[in-house]
Amino acid sequence: MIESPARFGKYEVCALLGQGAMGQVYLCHDPVIDRQVAVKILHPHILADRHADEMRNRFRREARAAARCQHPNIVTVYDVGDHEGRDYIVMEYVQGEELRFFLERGERLGDAERLYIVREVLEALGFAHARGVVHRDVKPANIILTDEGGVKVADFGVARIDRSDLTQAGSLMGTPTYMAPEGLRGEPVGPSGDLYSVGMVLFELVTGRRPAPEHIHSGRVGE
C-alpha cells in the first residue's frame, strides 16, 4: 500500500479520492488561493517501467489536452508539474458521482434525464473535437453527475491531440466495452470513435446492461 504524502509542491493533501491504472487522485488544498482541488499523481511504479518515458508523456499530454478544453461540461485543469520526480496534474474538484456508480446500483433514469446526460456529454466532446482533441475513453466512469445537477466529462488520460506522433497504430488505448471497432483493432480513433462510445453509454442508460460481449469480439482484439 502506498502511503499518502503530506503535500505535492504547494498543494496540501487532505484525502485519497481514488486510484486507477496510471495514478492516484487526492483531494488537496491550495493555500495560495484557498480552494480545494483534485491532484492526480502518476504511480511511482510507472516511472520504473521500461515504457516510463511514454507513460510520462501520456500523462503530460492529458494535461495539455484538457487545458485546451475550457468548457462547463469538462473538468478544468489548473496546473501541471512534478514534485520529487513524480508528475502531477491539478484539476477542478467536482462534487458529485460518477455515472458508473449510479448504473451499478441498478437505478433507472427517465427519457428526459438520459437525453440530458447524453446531450451534455456531446456538448463537451464537440467542443474538444473542434480543438483537435479526441477523448478516446468515454465511459460511465468518466462522466460525473455533479451535486448541482450538471454533467462533466473527466479524464483525458488517453486523449490524442491531432498531429501528435505519440500514439501509434497497433496500440490499444481506452476501455474495450465502450470502444469503437477501429480502436479495438489498434487503429487510430477520431471524433467518430468518441461518438460511438457515447452510443454505448446510451445503450447502457436505456437497457441497464453493458454492451454485449459480441461488440468486443467484433473488434477482433489481439488479431
Map the chain to HEC letters.
Answer: CCCCCCEECCEEEEEEEEECCCEEEEEEEECCCCEEEEEEEECHHHHCCCCHHHHHHHHHHHHHHHHCCCCCCECCEEEEEEECCEEEEEEECCCEEEHHHHHHCCCCCCHHHHHHHHHHHHHHHHHHHCCCEECCCCCHHHEEEECCCCEEECCCCCCEECCCCCCCCCCCCCCHHHCCHHHHCCCCCCHHHHHHHHHHHHHHHHHCCCCCHHHHHHCCCCC
Q: How many CB atoms neighbour CB 125 within 10 A?
A: 24
Q: What is the mean pLDDT of residues 182-209?
A: 89
Catalytic residue flag (residue 137): yes
pLDDT of residue 26 exceeding 60, the answer is yes
Q: Where exactly are the structural domains of the chain?
A: 9-92, 96-218
CA distances from 79 to 11, 38, 46, 124 (A): 11, 11, 21, 20
**pLDDT digits over 29-44, tens only?**
999 999 999 998 877 7
Residue indicated by cell numbers 446526460:
117
Q: Are 90 and 42 in contact (CB under 8 A)?
A: no
Q: Which of 137, 147, 162, 165 is catalytic?
A: 137
Tell me which fold the domain 9-92 belongs to: Phosphorylase Kinase; domain 1 (3.30.200)
CATH tag for 96-218 (out of 3.30.450.20, 1.10.510.10, 3.40.630.10, 3.55.50.30):
1.10.510.10
pLDDT of residue 16: 93
Cell numbers linked to 217 = 469480439
Q: What is the mean pLDDT of residues 191-217?
A: 84
pLDDT of residue 200 exceeding 70, the answer is yes
- Please state the φ and ψ torsions of residue 180, each to the nearest 5 degrees: -65, 150
Q: What is the mean pLDDT of the chain?
A: 82
**pLDDT digits over 165-195, tens only?**
444 434 445 578 888 888 777 787 889 999 9
- Measured CA to CA, the distance from residue 139 to residue 201 in angstroms comes to 6
- Reported pTM: 0.82
Is pLDDT larger for residue 5 or for residue 153? 153
Residue indicated by cell numbers 493555500:
31
Is pLDDT larger for residue 30 or for residue 157? 30
Q: What is the mean pLDDT of residues 68-94?
A: 88
pLDDT of residue 46: 66
pLDDT of residue 68 exceeding 60, the answer is yes
**N residues, the chain:** 223
- Measured CA to CA, the distance from residue 14 to residue 55 in angstroms comes to 26
